[in-house]
Amino acid sequence: MDPREVWARARGAWGTDIGVALLVQAAVSVPWVIPRDPRLEPATATAYLLTALTVVPLVWRRRAPVRVLLAVFAAQALYGLAVDGPGQTLPYPALVALYTVAALAPSPARQICGATALAVVFPSTALNTGETRELVFALIVFTAAYGFGRLTHTRQAYTRAVEDRARQLELTRRIEAERAAARERARIAREMHDILSHAVSLMIVQAEAGPVAVRTAPERAEAAFDAISETGRDAMAQLRRMLGVLREGEADRDAPREPQPVLAELEGLVERVRASGLEVSYEVVGPVRALSLDTEATVHRIVQEALTNVVRHAAARTVAVRLVHGAARLSVSVVDDGRGPGAGNTGNTGNGDGIGPGAKGRGGSGDGPGPGTGSAGDGGSGGGLGLVGIAERAASHGGTARTGPGPRGRGFRVEVDLPLEPVRFR
């Protein structure tokens, strides 16, 4: 807590206690203001000073409630035995001190002080008037003072509990906000990785195969450069939309928005990869059912990342994309016939000198498109962060992702299994 706040609270507590003491002093001063019966002894300054002595300890009532109560009782006993001063309608200092003990003192001391106060009532009444009415009245007011003190203690405890809970909720809200921001940053990083990695990989493949195609098949080189241009424009458009969402300002809020990719766009994705020279097959098995939009976007991004890894690292000739719609689950597999996991980047030849994924495809024969090998690959269909992103996307839907060698140990396989939830509205 800020020291200035602590000092302000302490200063406020002292001010409150002094104010209470002054108020009680004003109450006990009333008998000195009202004229006394001429048959009684006149009120003296000594009696008034002893009355003030019963009030002064109240200034420390919150610092030492039990000792203040004992001091007040002692001062009142001294007043009653030493002088014949004006009586009081109520024992104001004792009631305030007992209230404070009930509100602030720990349990053993509080209970002992309460019992002592009630016990003192009997001899005090006997020394004063000895009437039953006065005894009952004194018992009632002292019990009421103790009861109000306990109610105050309960209210303060409840207030502290509410404040503590509010602080805990604020801390929890802050932690959740930080976690949500971290999850959102991870999601944006995955989206940007998927968009840029896929587009740049296709552009690199086309650009590296272009010079070879210029010498052997100029029409294919022209198609390669057109594909580079189209892929670059598409990547820039997607990146611009994503950055527009991240920016702040009224102008950006009015910027056009487009939905996340869906399963219907997988065929277009496959066609773009197929245009790079890779033989891509796409198969859907089982009755196609309505899926949630976030599930469709996840499946699209998983297939996109898997194909990107094939283009960048696998040096494959063919790749098969397969979606199996089950009753309660959707299985996605992307299998290539490339180098597989753990393979090095030693191959530099390809079957064909046309457009192909990987390096420049040197040393090929024939005119057809054929795959080269990745000069920047990291071994097999690895993909590094891409495979991590696939696993994270699957886990976010309660699914699983498996990667490893393809059939008969050849190539690389990415398999994702996602549970499906029923969709009522689209």
Question: What is the reported pTM?
Answer: 0.46
DSSP state string for 240-291: HHHHHHHS-SHHHHTS---PPP-GGGHHHHHHHHHTTT-EEEEEEES-----
Superfamily of domain 184-419: Histidine kinase-like ATPase, C-terminal domain (3.30.565.10)
Distances (CA, A) of 116 to 14, 66, 98, 109, 146: 27, 11, 10, 10, 12
Q: What is the pLDDT of residues 75-99, one digit of tens each?
A: 888 887 777 777 777 888 999 999 9
Residues 330-364 pLDDT 10s: 999 999 998 877 644 333 333 333 333 333 333 33
Domain ranges of the chain: 3-130, 184-419
- pLDDT tens column, 38-67: 766 667 788 888 888 889 999 998 888 999
DSSP H or E stretch at residue 324: strand 318-325
DSSP state of 374: -
- What proportion of the chain, given as a percentage, has pLDDT over 70? 75
Per DSSP bridges, beta strands 318-325 and 279-285 are: parallel
Residue 354: per-residue pLDDT: 34
Using one digit for the tens of pLDDT, what is the confidence trace for 121-155? 888 888 777 788 888 988 999 999 999 999 999 99
pLDDT-derived band of residue 161, with 50, 70 and 90 as boundaries?
Answer: very high
Q: Is the pLDDT of residue 34 over 50?
A: yes
**Residue pair 76/54 in contact by the 8 Å Cβ criterion:** yes
227 close to 206: Cβ distance less than 8 angstroms? yes
246-271 tens-digit pLDDT:
665 444 455 445 557 888 888 888 88
